[in-house]
Amino acid sequence: MTGILMDGKALARQMESELAVRVQQLIGQSNGKVPILATILVGEDPASATYVRMKGNACKRVGMESLRVALPQTTTTDELLREIDRLNADPDVRGILLQHPVPPQIDERRCFDRISIEKDVDGVTALGFGKMAMGEAAYGSATPAGIMRLLRHYEIPIAGKYAVVVGRSPILGKPVAMMLLNANATVTICHSKTVNLPKIISGADIVVGAVGKPEFIRGEWIRPGAVVVDAGYHPGNVGDIEFSAVVEKCAAYTPVPGGVGPMTIATLMAQTVEAAEKSVR
Ligand code: NAP
């Protein structure tokens, strides 16, 4: 039996068409002003440039404007902080996205945390993470929040299930673990120092791959009937999980591409629209 394909691309498309209606309503309520998402790209990393372009295109599709800020590779922390301050103070900018990663000379955490909480639509600030973890209103980190939306859309049972998250990055592993915990899963977070990863994964009802290494999580580690979420994306259209060995035996899975990636962008759009709606209330 083949597992259910959790089609992030289709759900993202559906979300975008609903968002487009809300954006038109917003424009009507704010004297024709189009909501703006500011994107900051530092340096010339081609993958980051592609992600920023994709986010700009998504803005267009839902009727928002994207304000592209491109800074040179040599940008300092202070220069980036000044740029964020400028966008924080701009009343027309509803959300700010700082594309990760930034060049190594920049203190990324300080810069993320400078984004005002009302404009942290990508859910990267420590304050936003803390609020989310405490179950208070906050924009969730976009990829984890997109994963949770996808699981809910496909009515995947989470409460009481054993979830194993492989990866503990601030924008992905940690927040998705916290969101699963808030949804009443029992959660284990694994990382590069974890001992006996295959054994831990083999007990999981839900496996989230957020490692950043192609097909690192082997199909044989995953038990039949598990729900498999792959956040990784690598050349050759492979993720962090060895899917060929999983599709036939799992209960549900996210394809690569077309699973988590489109949900990340749609969630960023949804959170920007929400921020814009709050500003006109
Ligand atoms: P990251 O910051 O590099 O974090 C990778 C995590 O994997 C770290 O916590 C690391 O552990 C852990 N890890 C590395 N080797 C391991 C091993 N041998 N065993 C167990 N854990 C190990 O990456 P990230 O930013 O979270 O991204 C992870 C993946 O998701 C990447 O493929 C990335 O492209 C993808 N991603 C996709 C989206 C999207 O929109 N679809 C968004 C963000 C990221 P330590 O903490 O111990 O080093």
Q: What is the pLDDT of residue 280?
A: 87
Cα 88 to its chain centre, rounded Å, is 21
Residue range(s) of every CATH 3.40.50.10860 domain in the chain: 31-116
Confirm or reject CATH 3.20.20.150 for domain 31-116, answering yes or no.
no
Give the whole-angstrom CA distance, residue 25 versus residue 23.
Answer: 5
One-character DSSP codes across 28-88:
HHTTTPPPEEEEEEES--HHHHHHHHHHHHHHHHHT-EEEEEEE-TT--HHHHHHHHHHHH
Q: What region does 212 belong to: left with phi over 0, alpha with psi -120 to 50, or beta?
A: left
Q: Are 245 and 239 in contact (CB under 8 A)?
A: no
The atom of ligand 1 lying closest to the CA of 166 is 21
Q: What is the pLDDT of residue 1?
A: 74
Q: Over the stretch 129-160, which tens digit does the pLDDT of each residue have?
A: 999 999 999 999 999 999 999 999 999 999 99
- Encode burial over 218-256: b for 16+ CB neighbours within 10 A, e otherwise: ebebbeeebbbbbbbbeeeebbbbbbeebeebbbbbbbb
Task: Flag whether pLDDT at 281 surpasses 80.
Answer: no
Q: What is the pLDDT of residue 24?
A: 98
Q: What is the pLDDT of residue 188?
A: 99
Q: Whose CA is nearest to atom 13 of ligand 1?
A: 192
Confirm or reject CATH 3.40.50.720 for domain 142-260, answering yes or no.
yes
Task: Flag whether pLDDT at 80 surpasses 80.
Answer: yes
| Residues known to be catalytic | 55, 99, 122
The atom of ligand 1 lying closest to the CA of 260 is 41
Q: Over the stretch 240-250, which tens digit does the pLDDT of each residue have?
A: 999 999 999 99
- Protein residues whose CB sits closer than 6 Å to any atom of ligand 1: 143, 166-169, 171-173, 190-194, 197, 210-212, 231-233, 240, 260-261, 264
Cα 169 to averaged position of ligand 1 atoms, centre (Å): 6
Q: Over the stretch 20-43, which tens digit does the pLDDT of each residue have?
A: 999 999 999 999 999 999 999 999
Give the whole-angstrom CA distance, residue 240 versus residue 144.
Answer: 15
Q: Are 171 and 124 in contact (CB under 8 A)?
A: yes
Residue range(s) of every CATH 3.40.50.720 domain in the chain: 142-260
Look up residue 225 and give its amino acid: G
Three-class SS of 94-109? EEEEECCCCCCCCCHH
Q: Whose CA is nearest to atom 15 of ligand 1?
A: 192
> What does the DSSP 8-state code read for residue 207?
E
